[in-house]
Amino acid sequence: MPLRIFLAHLSRGITGPVCAESPKAQANRLTHNPRKLNLFKICDEISESLKIRTITKNISIHNNVSEEITVFADINLLKTILRNLISNAIKFTNQNGQISIYAKHDNANVTISISDTGIGIAPEYLIHLFDISPLHTTDENTVNEKGTGLGLYLCKECVEKHGGKIWAESELGKGSTFSFTLNPIEVKPTEKAIL
């Protein structure tokens, strides 16, 4: 299967015969072609693409990323990371909940965080979130939606392709925050970041 199709399927949580090759084998073939990107615009694009799902559950997404922040990243891998993390936040957030996207820029990294007011994750699951082994989770407030854990493994692989780190913090009943780091770019006054 072409890698772009594999990425599309995993980012939508589709598993089964269409993903016959193991996720680990596919992830090893991820290409990495970084360029300067405007983080705010990409977060906005991904949030808009998931709007139908947020309307169904009356969930609001707040993009709190500064319009000035840029990152040096592969656009397809970055979109895959964001789509997976925001999709998971929608999936495991209660009706009428909120999701917030933040980014903090320091000299070494840009740290991007996606926080939700969802059901949270038990400590025994939290330490294995990014493992390749499947994780099935459901709750009555998530409209019986399930997660396989494969999308989070893919996120980890995509982040590590950029030399970054990914982690999660969570408290049952209060929500979760998933964060990852990317390399920053200093934008000169005459330069503009591309979408």
Answer whether residue 14 shows pLDDT above 50: no
Residue 166 and residue 178 in contact, taking contact as beta carbons nearer than 8 Å = yes
Question: What pTM did the predictor assign?
Answer: 0.78
Which of the residue ranges 7-21, 121-135, 179-193 would you say has the lowest mean pLDDT? 7-21
What is the pLDDT, as a whole number, of residue 32?
85
pLDDT of 24 higher than 50:
yes
Give yes or no for residue 8 having a pLDDT over 50: no
Task: Give the mean pLDDT of 41-61.
Answer: 96
